[in-house]
Amino acid sequence: MTLAEVGGAQSYVRDLVDGAGEAGFDVAVAAHGEGPLKTAAAELGVPFFPLTQVRRKVSPLHDPLGIVELIRLFRRLRPDVVHLNSSKAGVLGRIAAFASRVPVRIFTAHGWAFKAAAGFDSRLYLLADRAVEPLTSMVICVSENERRAGLAAGVCSAKRSIVIRNAVEVGAAPSRAGGDETPVQVVSVGRLAPPKDFSTLVTAVARLPEGRAHLRIVGDGPLRDELEAQTRALGIAAAVEFVGEVPDARLCLGDADVFVLASLSEGMPVSVLEAMASGLPVVASAVDGLDEVVVEGWTGFLTPPGDAAALAAGIDRLVDDPALRKAFGEAGRARAEEHFSLPAWREAHFSLYRSLLADRGWQPRNEPDAIGSPISQKNSHT
């Protein structure tokens, strides 16, 4: 369960659902909004339940209604496992799943919201995550750094938390990262909102030699107008293309030379893994779990967050050196294949489901479920 929009958590759910049937699980997906996750569920033949009250922003009106909505859904489907993604859904969903007596309640922390937010919102998320921690069967952290942060903040416990690093499908064809055509094609993917730091990226591009690089920003969000105005003010509007939201950002990687992610906070971004799997060298902010993905000087460069000069220097080195782009891209692709491949990642999740169910004495039910498909020989989760 998550939001249906484009994002790393949504890619995570899509890839997990894709292998669940063969592993013996009946799956349903619940999410708010339209987006590629709904489309993916339809393509995979998985029931999709639209949520109307579980939304991104904190709301004293919608949040209580969201808990009620989820309780009704869980009581209807009677899942054995509820697996929650996205911070807001993770809080409301754990309350609803506990109230509905769902045996196994899992939350994946793609990046702790209290770290990404600021001020009152940060404090609110911290208190909320602490409050629902006792209701949680297991917290999955996508990086060792996120688990350390969660333990230090008291939002997960050593006994009920594990690390399963994100994974991606390694594509059949690498990018054109070793080509010598100009301008060099630089791509960045993400929601145009914090904690992504596209403003620093735009500033960095303005520091590059004119005509040497072209930046494509894939994604949308509330800061788009502001960022477009920034490119005009810096005189680089012709060098920066705002692609907008696309159903599958991987389709925008094949004609790129360099992938860049400027951010103030990250768990383990799927976009960077997808770029590496496509054979792209990476320049990224040295935050949180990124040093568990990008190997400095081997698959890319890590730069201090918010430092436009350092980010520009990393991009410029790759712009000027096709051979280095090719070497980093090949090394990143090999690393993705060895350490971040989907089959082992899926099995880690499914083994966790089985283990937690076994701990609770789970037995198959010889009756149809609420959406009409037999589950007598399968676990079910949403």
pLDDT at 357: 96
Q: What is the pLDDT of residue 369?
A: 39
**pLDDT given at position 362:** 73
pLDDT tens-digit series, residues 296-345: 999 999 999 999 999 999 999 999 999 999 999 999 999 999 999 899 99
Q: At what angle do helices 62-77 and 87-99 cross, to 10 degrees?
A: 50
What is the distance between the alpha carbons of residues 309 and 329, in angstroms, rounded to a whole number? 23
Domain positions in the chain are 2-167+341-381, 184-339
Is-contact 85 113, C-beta < 8 A? no
Kindly report, residue by residue over 200-219, the tens digit of the pLDDT.
999 999 999 999 999 999 99
Query: 184-339: what CATH class?
Result: alpha beta
Q: What is the pLDDT of residue 116?
A: 83
Contact criterion met (CB below 8 Å) for 37 and 4 = yes
Distance of CA 363 to the CA centre of its chain: 33
Which DSSP letter does residue 290 get? G
HSE-CB of 302 using CA atoms within 13 angstroms: 16
- Residue 195 exposure: Cα atoms within 13 Å on the Cβ side: 21
Query: What was the pLDDT predicted at 141?
Result: 96
Please report, for residues 5, 19, 210, 295, the alpha-carbon distance to residue 15 in angstroms, rounded to integers and kept in the order given.
Answer: 15, 7, 40, 25
DSSP-derived 3-state class of residue 214: strand
Return the pLDDT at 380. 59
Q: Provide the 3-class DSSP secondary structure of residue 178.
A: coil
DSSP assignment of 55-66, as one string?
Answer: -SS--TTHHHHH
Residue type, 165: R
Answer yes or no: same fold for 2-167+341-381 and 184-339: yes
What is this structure's pTM? Answer: 0.86
Both tokens assigned to 360: 């609770």
* Options 3.40.50.300, 3.30.70.20, 3.30.1360.120, 3.40.50.2000; CATH of 2-167+341-381: 3.40.50.2000
Contacts of 266 (CB under 8 A, 6+ apart): 111, 195, 285, 287, 288, 289, 290
Tokens of 302: 């890590």
Task: Supply angle C-alpha 231, 291, 128, rounded to 5.
Answer: 85
So what's the pLDDT on residue 378? 42
- Run means of pLDDT, 10 residues per run, the chain, 382 residues: 61 91 93 84 93 84 94 97 93 97 96 88 94 98 95 97 94 64 93 95 97 96 97 98 90 93 92 94 94 96 98 97 96 95 94 95 52 35 64
Assigned token pair, 16: 């997990």
